Structure 1
Amino acid sequence: MPPSARPGNALPFLLLSAFRALIDELHVRLAEAGHGDLRPAHGMAMQMISRGGGVSDLARRLGVSKQAASKTVTTLERLGYAERRPDPRDQRQRAVALTARGVEALALSGDILNHLRDEWAAVVGPGEMDGVEEALARLGGHGSLDGIGDWLGA
């Protein structure tokens, strides 16, 4: 079916299926590299944790309750990807930070996603891949993921 003949309601599913294919392959490769315990939601949380701050900051960035953010941090602590430590700005507070394992997993994710982008570009052609990315950047607005958890209903 030519793209212009697709109904408008196909677009969200095309975007979602491409996103899922990308993230699923990312997690296959993370597992091969020793990070099989990570889930997609962990990656989003780790991105936000890398910005610094405490559980309240994480909750705000993810758009979830403080309790949900705390539960995620507890899971990441148990898995060895994050830790709570005294906040250097306020010793009464606890900051959440990535451990060396968390930093490694986040960097590895970035490397894998770069490789996957190159693999996709090899399938559709570099020019078309650039066009897809440019179109998505224009259509998606500012590209911030702040609040995405709340939007997703997490």
Structure 2
Amino acid sequence: MSPAEPDRPGFLLPLLLLAGFRTLIDDLHTELARTGGHPELRPLHGFVLQAVGPSGTTATELGRRLGISKQAAGKTIDRLVAAGYLERVDDPRDARRKIVRMTDRGRDGLRRSAEIFDELRDRWVGALGADRVAAIEDDLHLLAAANLHRLDVPGWLGG
């Protein structure tokens, strides 16, 4: 195994990957605020909306999916309920429990995010070329963990 090239130390790769991720997420939220009608959405909120899913969940389950405590999940739910992205409803199977589910505004935020991600990918294609962007994606598919849709990043980063 050869050591890293002097101008490409090993620690640079994760920093560049994180910077690329951060650039895409920052650009997404700039566009969501500018054109998408969702200026209050933050990076954590996208993970939360994805973790709630189309059929809803409980605060306990949401915390588990995100890798955060039930209390932290509850505070985030409160913020997204107040902003109109989530709602709490009675669980039809157990009146003691509440189900958290997306509102139309929450579904619109996710839909608009997906559209903007397509636009951002197109920008990267314009800057790097379609072949290079596809090669980056192919290489990351090869090297990254199999579960692309892990939603526990908030807990992983915070824990």
**TM value normalised by structure 1:** 0.92
| Residue 146 (structure 1) shift | 3.6
Q: What is residue 85 of structure 1 aligned with on the other side?
A: 89
Aligned AA for 2:12?
A
| Residue 43 (structure 1) shift | 1.0
Q: 2:39 aligns with which of 36, 40, 60?
A: 36
CA contact 2:66–2:151 (8 Å) conserved in 1: yes
Distance 2:91 2:137 in 1: 38
Q: What is residue 50 of structure 2 aligned with on the other side?
A: 47
Distance 2:119 2:109 in 1: 15
Identity %: 43
Distance 1:105 1:146 in 2: 17
Q: What is residue 101 of structure 1 aligned with on the other side?
A: 105
CA contact 2:50–2:151 (8 Å) conserved in 1: no
Write out the 4+ residue segments of structure 1 that deviate beyond 3 Å after TM superposition.
none
**Kindly tell me: are residues 146 and 34 of structure 1, through their superposed partners in 2, closer, same or farther at Cα, counting changes over 3 Å?**
closer
- Note the alpha carbon deviations across 1:25-63, whole angstroms, 9 max, x for none: 100110012211111111111111125211111100000
5+ residue gaps, structure 1, are none
* SS of aligned partner of 1:86: strand
Q: What is residue 70 of structure 2 aligned with on the other side?
A: 66
Q: 2:127 aligns with which of 123, 128, 151?
A: 123
Q: What is the CA RMSD across the aligned residues, in angstroms? A: 1.6
Aligned AA for 2:129?
G
Q: Aligned pairs, how many?
A: 152
